[in-house]
Amino acid sequence: MIISHKYKFIFIKNRKIAGTSIETYLSKYKGDNDVFTPINPPVEGHVSQNYRGLFNPFNEILSNANSSTAALSDFIKGRKFWNHIPSRLVKARVSNDVWESYYKFCVERNPWDKTLSQFYMWKEWKNNINTLDDYFANGIFPKDLQRYTLDGKIAVNKIIKYENLSHELAEIFHELGIPWGGSLGVRAKSGFRKDRRPYTEILNEEQIEIIADEFAEEIRIMNY
């Protein structure tokens, strides 16, 4: 996640959408006061800075009792911002002026390809995920809707389609005054998926339907 005071934008980082590559590219143009959250494992060229700090956790606790433990944990650790922090917490932890005036954007992806991307990563990282059947039995999908919505409404100015990433990034960077050479120049965490066939040739009909049900709102919003 990025809060750029230099260029006045907030990047909400969803999963499996080239987020680390975007952060690594933008690290070259960071200001001293900008917020860049850390990632694990580290990626060459990726900067993390200014993500620690104090904040008032009580408004978060009062507005959402279910988040009280997480809010207090972040406060005690001094972890003001983190990698995939949702818009709700970013808004609560920055000034109203920053939230209202900065350009906010994120990236969303075709949910079938997004799910496959997570499967192939988990296949490398998790001992109990070896097949698609294992993955679907786990029942945890890379849903990010709550990261870029507030009270059921879109919280960002722009949701970029991953499938049109370079073109839409170019438009946003031009508007913000960020240099753009036509490519991010890095594909961080992109080596997990070796099978590049279309998802329709990898997933069966039942799996395709399960994903459609899980991501029904995202499909509606993004017109997938």
- For residue range 83-112, what is the model confidence (pLDDT) as tens digits? 999 999 999 999 999 999 999 999 999 999
Average pLDDT of the chain, as a whole number: 94
Answer CATH for 2-222 from 3.30.70, 3.40.50, 3.10.530, 3.30.750: 3.40.50
Q: How far apart are CA 90 and CA 147, in angstroms?
A: 10
Residue 190 has pLDDT above 60, yes or no: no
The helix (run of H) or strand (run of E) holding residue 97 is helix 96-101
Q: How far apart are CA 187 and CA 91, in angstroms?
A: 29
* pLDDT tens, residue by residue, 166-179: 999 999 999 999 99
Q: How far apart are CA 157 and CA 9, in angstroms?
A: 10
Q: Domain residue spans in the chain?
A: 2-222
The helix (run of H) or strand (run of E) holding residue 93 is helix 87-93
Max Cα distance, the chain (Å): 50
The helix (run of H) or strand (run of E) holding residue 142 is none
The dihedral region occupied by 208, where left means phi > 0, alpha psi between -120 and 50, and beta the remainder, is alpha
Cis peptide before 86 (omega within 30 of 0): no
Tokens of 138: 């786990």
DSSP 49: B
- pLDDT on residue 65: 63
- pLDDT on residue 219: 98
pTM here?
0.93
Long-range contacts of 178-181 (CB under 8 A, 24+ apart): 178/7, 178/26, 178/29, 179/29
Q: How far apart are CA 98 and CA 91, in angstroms?
A: 9
* pLDDT tens, residue by residue, 36-79: 999 988 999 999 999 999 999 988 888 776 778 899 999 999 99
The C-alpha angle with vertex 170 and arms to 100 and 13, in degrees rounded to 5, equals 50
